[in-house]
A and B are shown apart, each in its own frame.
Chain A
Amino acid sequence: MSKYILKRLLMMIPVILGMSFFIFVILEKAPGDPARIILGDKAPAEAVEELREEMGLNDPFLVRYINYIGDALRGDFGTSYRTHLPVFEEIMARFPTTLTLALGSIVLTVIIGVPIGVLSAVKQYSILDNATMAGALILASMPGFWLGTMLLLLFASKLHWLPATGAESWKSFILPCVALMASNMAMLVRMTRSNMLEVIRAEYITMARAKGASEKVVIFRHALRNALMPIITIIGMNLSSLLGGTMIIESVFALPGLGTLAITAVRSKDIPLVMAEVIFIALLAGFINLFVDVLYAYIDPRLKSQYVSRKRARRAAR
């Protein structure tokens, strides 16, 4: 198992390197000179040139990339061109907002989505099931930022129940979480329903019923546990995509998170900040995916055998 985890961690290295290189190339093409941006429009040309030299901007492209990666490996992600603060601090200041948003919406999704999916499967083709599927279709087809805008209109502008912008109290996170949750929940409900339907027809469920287990035990202990695997995949996938995908929702609600930080950073050509943020999010996503895969092995013993090295498996077979 630890070998498998190590292998996966090592496999993340080329992915992160390739990705950071790709973003570096793209940002290279962006218009505007970072030295000019730092010093402002009125600075004399000599000062700009001097700063360019000092920042190493006149070096060849590859040298700059290698220098950047070297610094990053030593933990130095540089300072923001715009605020002159260390990039790492900037990201850490914004990260809790995005994390709260992502976790909040995932928790809500699971708490609401799984029971609805189970209920819908147990009562297949009932009015409740049809209504759920219709609701899921509409939620999946609704742009999150539009749902957010509608929620703002109703709960902030008309009813004045919740604040419209900012991140002062937990109340400001309710609407963004709900807006972020919609499409994921639709996916989770559909997934849970179709998995449950598949599992419910299995022979071991008939067997559980035959031995006299109560319906509750049959559904929750025998069926749901076996339907859980793809559900966990969805949760893991959503969490990693949420961390990078809260951008639009954050800008609807003017939340100071990683997404709004990225938008301003890209617009002001703040290369160190963009790079660090992309690497940060990709690393997080990588760890979450790894965690989900390890979690599988604990939930499904059948998969555990795949992680055991082949040699040992062969020895065990003998």
Chain B
Amino acid sequence: MKQETEYRKRSRIAFICKRFSRNRLAMLGLAMVLVLVLLSATADVFFDYHDDVVVQNVRNRLQAPGESPGHILGTDQYGRDILARVIYGARVSLSISVLVISVSTILGILLGGVAAYCGGVVDNLIMRINDIFYSIPFTLMSVCIVASLGGGIPNLVLACTIGVVPGFARIFRSAIMPIKSREFIEAARASGSTEIRIFMKHIIPNALGPIIVQATLNLASTILAISGLSYIGLGIESPTPEWGAMLSEAKNFMRDDPYLVIIPGIAIMIATIAFNLVGDGLRDALDPKLKN
């Protein structure tokens, strides 16, 4: 009897944290994410944004990694330190993708939640409009948006958000759907809670698991999407350091200096792997049934 009460005292969150911390790969991913965040937050301590990242220094151009002691990863075609640009690039990629995912998650919860909760005509209307956006190929739409409204970070965020929200709305709707007919919702309604309170206090917290997993996994794909758009010249503009843009600028030099294209690509990969590992770990921790 005593054991059972102790077991019950442990909250679900503590349980999930414990399962997550036992997963070695997920912890590796979490460590990678923390390192990335720490590096991009403290970049100003090690480098000067203006001197190392923006100003061209043609005399030092195209030094291979290890060639000069001041530049561990070498310098690019304009003589800028690649390590500094990669680290500042992490700041750009992380902040944009976190912004995109936060906005998309809120919109996704609102759209999917309202659709699932209200049902009927509202559900149909929201989901059909959602289908319209869902059916536009992501790259094509981003190209249209960026080409019409111009490049730069706000429009890139807009394009990515429009790309992510329809998928989120669908998934969140199906996550919220089964909760709304559970007994505790009925109990809350019987005890006189307002609909908004039921939605915010009872429905959302219980659907949070799949929402968090989707958000984390989509962080990885958003990082990829941002770098892809910057690669075709529609994302972040020079001289702001962004991994995809660095790659595309270095294309003409890659035959003789392949490190110019190899390093930013590895940076993209590390960031994406980190978020994918955390996302997979979270999914396994939240729903052990899925793990085989």
Residues of chain A at the chain B interface (Cβ within 8 Å): 14-15, 18-19, 22-23, 26-31, 124, 137-138, 140-146, 149-150, 153, 157, 194, 197-198, 241, 243-245, 247-248, 251, 259, 262-263, 266-267, 269, 274, 277-278, 281-282, 285-286
Q: Please, which residue of chain B has its CB at the minimum distance from the CB of A248?
A: B228
- 5 additional A-B pairs beyond A140-B276, A143-B269, beta carbons within 8 Å, are A141-B269, A143-B228, A143-B244, A145-B228, A194-B290
Hey, which bits of chain B sit against chain A, CB under 8 A?
A: 128-129, 131-133, 135-141, 143-145, 147-150, 220, 224, 227-228, 231-232, 244, 247, 251, 254-255, 258, 261-262, 264-265, 268-269, 272-273, 276-277, 290, 292
With a cutoff of 8 Å between Cβ atoms, the chain B residues found around residue A274 in the complex are: 144
Q: Which of A14, A245, A247 has the most chain B CB atoms inside 10 A of its CB?
A: A247
Inter-chain contacts of A278 with B (CB < 8 A): 136, 140, 144
Q: Are A143 and B139 in contact (CB under 8 A)?
A: no
Residues of chain B within 8 A of A26, CB atoms compared: 144-145, 148-149
Q: A146-B265, A149-B265, A244-B139 are in contact. Are A18 and B132 (CB under 8 A)?
A: yes
Q: Which 9 A-B pairs have the closest CB atoms?
A: A244-B137, A146-B265, A141-B272, A30-B148, A18-B132, A197-B292, A266-B147, A141-B273, A247-B139
In angstroms, how far is the closest chain B Cβ from the Cβ of A311? 22
- Tell me the smallest distance from the CB of A234 to a CB of chain B, in Å: 15
Is the Cβ of B132 less than 8 Å from the Cβ of A22? yes
Bound complex: CA of A102 vs CA of B240, how far in Å?
33
A248 with B261: in contact, given A18-B129, A19-B132 (CB under 8 Å)?
no
| Dominant secondary structure at the A interface | helix
> Are A266 and B135 in contact, with the CB atoms below 8 A?
no
Bound state CA distance, A145 and B246, in angstroms?
A: 13
Point out the residues of chain A lying under 8 angstroms from B149, CB to CB. 26, 29-30
- How many contacts A-B (CB < 8 Å)? 132
Which has the most chain B C-beta neighbours within 10 Å: A28, A141, A194, A259?
Answer: A141
| CB atoms of B135 and A15 under 8 A apart | yes
Within 8 Å CB of A285, what residues of B? 135, 137
* Chain B contact residues, majority secondary structure: helix
Question: B139, A138: Cβ atoms under 8 Å?
Answer: no
Is the beta-carbon distance between B139 and A29 smaller than 8 angstroms?
Answer: no
Q: Within the complex, which residue of B135, B143, B220, B254 is in contact with A282, where a contact is CB–CB below 8 Å?
A: B135
Within 8 Å by CB of A138, from B145, B231, B247, B269, lies B269
Take A18-B132, A138-B269, A153-B261 as given contacts and tell me if A145 and B138 are in contact as well, using a CB distance cutoff of 8 Å.
no
Q: What's the Cα separation between A140 and B247 when bound, in Å?
A: 19
Chain A residues whose C-beta falls within 8 Å of the C-beta of B147 in the assembled complex: 30, 266-267, 269
Compute how far the CA of A37 lies from the CA of B17 in the bound complex, rounded to whole angstroms.
59
Check A149–B251 contact: CB distance below 8 A. Answer: yes
B227 and A143 contact, CB distance less than 8 A:
yes
Report the minimum CB–CB distance from B92 to chain A (whole Å): 15
Q: Which residues of B contact A245 (CB under 8 A)?
A: 137-139
A124 to B228, CA, bound (A): 35
Report chain A residues within 8 Å CB of B258: 153
Q: Establish whether residues B144 and A266, one from each chain, have CB atoms under 8 Å apart when the complex forms.
A: yes
Whether B262 lies near A150 (C-beta < 8 A) is: yes
Give 22 A-B contacts (CB < 8 Å), ordered by A residue: A18-B132, A19-B132, A19-B135, A26-B145, A26-B149, A30-B149, A143-B272, A145-B244, A149-B247, A149-B251, A153-B255, A157-B255, A197-B292, A198-B292, A244-B140, A245-B138, A248-B139, A248-B231, A248-B232, A267-B147, A278-B144, A285-B135
Contacts A29-B148, A149-B247, A149-B254: A143 and B292 contacting too (C-beta < 8 A)?
no
Contact A244 B138 (CB under 8 A): yes
How near does chain B come to A141, taking the closest CB pair, in angstroms?
4
B261 x A149 contact (CB < 8 A): yes
How many Å from the CB of B281 to the closest CB on chain A?
12
Q: Which of B128, B138, B143, B224 has a CB less than 8 Å from the CB of A262?
A: B143
Q: Are the C-beta atoms of A262 and B140 separated by less than 8 Å? A: yes
CA distance A28 to B261 in the complex (A): 37
- What residues of B have a CB within 8 angstroms of the CB of A31 in the complex? 148, 150
Q: Which of A14, A153, A277 contacts B140 (CB 8 A)?
A: A277
C-alpha gap A286/B137 in the complex (Å): 11
Known contacts A15-B132, A19-B136, A248-B231; A27 and B261 CB within 8 A of each other: no
On whether the beta carbons of A145 and B247 are closer than 8 Å, the reply is yes
Chain A residues positioned under 8 Å from B128 (CB to CB) = 14-15
Q: Chain A residue with minimal CB distance to B149?
A: A29
Q: Assess A247 versus B143: contact at CB under 8 Å? Given A22-B136, A137-B273, A241-B137.
A: yes
**A27-B148 in contact (CB<8A):** yes
